[in-house]
Amino acid sequence: MQNHYSEANGLLDRMLINSGNETLKASFLKIAQKSRKQAVALINHNGLRFTTLYILLPEIDGLSLYDDLIPRNQIAFTLCAKILMDLKPSADVNKQLSDNNDFIHSVLKWMFITGAKDDGLSNEFDQVLDVVASRLIRIYHDADILPELVRIIFSRNRKGFYTNDLVWALFGSRNPHIFRLIAKYLRSQRRADVELAGKLLKHAPGEENSDGTEKRPQYSMYLSWFKENQPYLYFTGEGFHQTSDPTPCCVDLGAKFLCKKISPKDRKPIEPLTEADNNHLDEFYRKKSAEEVLLARYSHHLHSVNRKQWDRWMEYPIDKQVKIAKDRLGGAS
Amino acid sequence: MIKISGKELDPKSLESQYPQGSFERSLIQAMSGSDRSYDSLAQLQFEIEMRKTTVNAARELYQSGMDFAIFRKSKCNPEYWNRASDGGFVLKDNVKPSDAILDIYQNGSYYATECATAIVIVFLKATLDVFPVELFDHVFSKITLMNWHHINPVLRSIGIMKNVKVFLPGDRMYFINPDVDPEKPEWQGENVIMLGTDSFYGHGLGIANQAAIIKELNKRRREGADESAYLLKQASQPDYKKLLEIRQAYHP
């Protein structure tokens, strides 16, 4: 994939950083009036940040520079026009953007990586970032942006800004590593961070808040829970659009009982189940929910400490398995 | 089967209290098809009353002229509401909550928002229709309209979906659109109010049957999508028992 953001910032970026939006716009217009060629060269600089291009979109549109832009900038211009609808989109908007190829991916990544630091620039800019993040995750399955995405979500949440679409994009990654990234905010000094982290990690057991309102996991507890359950986590597709109390992720207790890893994307076992596995599962799912939790937990524990004992235990009748698990774990679930 | 204080209720006796062909009669018939138990007849009657006001509030909101807009572009009447930075509407100080809710119905064109907000508005209006105005203003003295995060505790249960076998008019339900276009996250699903048999109100899509809503959501999927939108077998409702207790405890 082509890299559009490896070089040092261009002159226009430096103008933006040092003098702000309005000076950048005025300077760019002045340069274009003197030399259209120079203005085009500056905007097409390989190290240009997306933020700079975004701020200059009305000027680029007004000066009819679209045809002189390099493909990276044309794609970014077109996508912004499509999202915001107040710029003239090029005629082949949909064709340009519908191509599921490496080049579009690289442009989207440039937009996100070089634009993310300026999140909060304006409502419209943030909307563009939301869509770019969503496309990167849902179409290109790009996991590289997840840490920055989580950072933006928490940053916006502190300011009371809109986060729903980014949270939706984040869970759309169906990548369990996002939970490690979120869990870090359980240790934050900011109450807003801790509350949001608690909401996003509701799939794990938590402790009652000091005010008794909501349960949330503690950081170390969560990490140990995550380590135990990660191979068996799957995403449900639930989100805040649908319910106030979504469970975007669950533990597949059957998989945990068999100690067989599943795909977090579709809940299918990574390795096909044997006939013996299916027979064990039939028995397992006849038990009550609390016993399922107990069996899954004990099975995982035994499997990790003594594989031979686990092999023997798995061959016992299910009621004997429950009894042993209760004796060893004290009925804990 | 409907039970009142543990005793089976003859639905016919209750139906006879309502006119032939009325909403209430068909609702009672639908309710009889599932196991439901109430502490008192008044509780059951209150649920019937409020399910009716919910359906009416949904139909009226559809006709109010309120527009559809994503949260980033939402709008509200600044005489009654402050628009929050996340796109929600916060009730202004010194404004009567009942007036602010009624304004949405009377001046719908001043408002634009997403489907989740619309459903919250419907339940607030339905509650206003069954509560004395002074009680409503007291209970809902602070309102934030957005999605399921900011619901007044009295109506908290409308945000929590549960698996159910029988759906009834007045239920909130959800069509999910798993393959939605990443550029249109607002169509990742549609929150709806069930109006009657195969009839739903969803803000932005209007009043339509299940097939039509699925067709509309499918139009907003990503290119190459292969998974259709579908209606979840889940529903939520207000805590009718709690609302009745609040109304009964009110003595002006």
The complex scores an ipTM of: 0.86
pLDDT digits (tens, 9 = 90+) for A292-311: 999 999 999 999 999 999 99
pLDDT digits (tens, 9 = 90+) for B8-51: 999 898 999 999 999 999 999 999 988 899 999 999 999 999 99
Residue contact B71–A162, C-beta within 8 A: yes
The answer to whether residue A189 neighbours chain B at the CB level (below 8 Å) is no
pLDDT digits (tens, 9 = 90+) for B92-143: 999 999 999 999 999 999 999 999 999 999 999 999 999 999 999 999 999 9
Quote the mean pLDDT of chain A: 89
Report the pLDDT averaged over residues A326-333. 70
What is the per-residue pLDDT for A333?
43
Please give the angle made by the CA atoms of A257, A263 and A264, to the nearest 5 degrees: 95
Nearest chain B residue to A139 by CA: give it. B182
pLDDT digits (tens, 9 = 90+) for A15-58: 898 889 999 999 999 999 999 999 999 999 999 999 999 999 99
CB-CB contact of A45 with A76 (8 Å): no
Question: Tokens for B213?
Answer: 């809503």
% chain A with pLDDT above 90: 73
Coil/strand/helix, residue B168:
coil
The answer to whether residue A267 neighbours chain B at the CB level (below 8 Å) is no
Residues 6 or more apart in contact with residue B22 via CB below 8 angstroms: none
**Among B148, B178, B222, whose Cβ lies nearest the Cβ of A243?**
B148
In angstroms, what separates the C-alpha of A134 from chain B's closest C-alpha? 5
Pairing of strands B7-8, A233-235: unpaired
In angstroms, what separates the C-alpha of B13 from chain A's closest C-alpha? 37
Q: How far apart are CA B63 and CA A275, in angstroms?
A: 58
Q: Which chain B residues are within 8 Å of A139, Cβ to Cβ?
A: 182, 222
In angstroms, what separates the C-alpha of A308 from chain B's closest C-alpha? 41
**Among B72, B161, B222, whose Cβ lies nearest the Cβ of A242?**
B161
What is the per-residue pLDDT for A83?
87
Please report which residue ranges of A8-89 form alpha helices under DSSP H: 11-19, 21-34, 36-43, 50-55, 57-62, 71-84
